[in-house]
Amino acid sequence: MSETMTRGEEFANATITEEMLEAARERIGRARPVPAWNSTITKDTIWHFAMGVGDDNPLWWDEDYAERSPRGGLTAPPCYLYSHAHGPVLAVEDAEELILPNVMALWAGERWEFKRHLRVGENIRSESSLTDLTVHEGGSFGGRSVTQTSTAHYKTDAGEVVAECKHILKRFNRGETRARGKYLDRPVAKWTVADRDRFEAHYRQEARLMRRGAEPRYFEDTPVGEKTPTMLKGPLTRSNLIGWQMGIGLGLVATNRMMYAILDATPGTRMVNPDLGCVDTWAAPHWEPALCRAQGLPGEGYDHGCQRLSWVAHFVSDWMGDHGFLRDLEIRLLRPNIINDVTWINGTVVASDPETGAVTLDIVTTNQLEETTSRTRATVELPRKP
């Protein structure tokens, strides 16, 4: 890549070209190791992740409680596996960050399939491959866009696959999304004393109403049509985003010499802040107003797609209880969560399978404007009555 394409200003007007697409298609089907933030599951890595999600389930925190549970010891939250990716990109060939360099990327959806619970002491690594690129002419953001699909497998040292993740990104030309300004007129939330009191009151009683815990949720007692309790996440603040990244890790949130080494390895992730003139990475639009506006979003910041999915996984873990097992989780992200938004999570049992003892939840997240921001289908295996 030429020097003129690594300065960092070009991200603002980068366009999807045939040359980029041809280079990306050459990667299809080629498995590559994913840089890891964590490599070994430990008590500390589990609670760091749980802190980032806001998940106080004693299954992840309390060794005595976990040993008395059906799991027989500490296990990790399902989406904890995000922390076994998202490491610093330094010496990885075919890194995903090199696909369509400088082109805006938004999470569109994911489907996780979990094979079993994750236990302390296991080494878990991930391999990923690009599986599909679909080009669209025109769309909700305007101009040409690309749907980028990849599949990751999380494996033990022995090669056992403990989870599979199908990941979908939407890639857009930033100049066109900025000109379209689809979300720029959306008001940033402002909260009153009454609002703050309402949020705090909900959080104080949420675990009591939401978390099933040691009491089994039996398949026979979970009819189709049953509604779940409500979970709250937010308001989304920069502190909230920092907490999330402390738990998951994020290789592009690096500092000083390490940041510049990563930018040299993945030049297409370099961004220059138009207000401050400093160099940053393409993770920064989540919290840097000027870089957020450069993407056509309200100039405060927005959440991570994997963060929202982890919130939903927390919701399912609380609802199903210690005896349940989350088998798969598929989310479609419909709108960004903007800084200061709140997210309400609700679910409905929409199907059940007497042969497997599994139920299907339809889970919806909504913001303070009553806009649906995501929809998720979750399959949960529940215990049978004795």
Find the CATH number of the domain harbouring 22: 3.10.129.10
Domain-located, residue 254: yes
pLDDT for position 2: 39
Integer Cα distance of 359 and 350 in angstroms: 8
- What's the total number of domains in the chain? 1
Domain-located, residue 386: no
pLDDT truncated to tens, each residue of the chain (386 aa)?
Answer: 334 345 666 666 778 889 989 988 998 999 989 989 999 999 999 999 999 999 999 999 999 999 999 999 999 998 999 999 988 877 666 677 778 888 888 889 999 999 999 999 999 999 999 999 999 887 665 578 899 999 999 999 999 999 999 999 998 887 666 556 667 778 889 999 999 999 999 999 999 999 999 999 999 999 999 999 999 999 999 999 999 999 999 888 889 999 999 888 888 888 899 899 999 988 899 999 999 888 878 778 999 999 999 999 999 999 999 999 999 999 999 999 999 999 999 999 999 999 999 999 999 999 999 999 999 999 999 999 98
- As a whole number of angstroms, the longest Cα–Cα distance in the chain is 69
pLDDT for position 384: 97
pTM: 0.93
pLDDT for position 4: 38
Q: Is 56 left (phi over 0), alpha (psi -120 to 50) or beta?
A: alpha
Domain-located, residue 130: yes
pLDDT for position 195: 98
pLDDT for position 179: 56
pLDDT for position 269: 85
pLDDT for position 134: 93
pLDDT for position 6: 56
pLDDT for position 342: 98
Q: What's the token pair of residue 86?
A: 């998202």
Integer Cα distance of 209 and 109 in angstroms: 29
Domain-located, residue 78: yes
Q: Which residue has the tokens 């890639």?
A: 171
- Cis preceding linkage at 235, omega within 30: yes
Q: Are 117 and 174 in contact (CB under 8 A)?
A: no
**Smallest Cα–Cα separation from 290: which of 303, 276, 305?**
276
pLDDT for position 3: 41
Domain-located, residue 280: yes
Domain-located, residue 105: yes
Q: In which domain, by residue range, is 95 found? A: 3-193+200-381
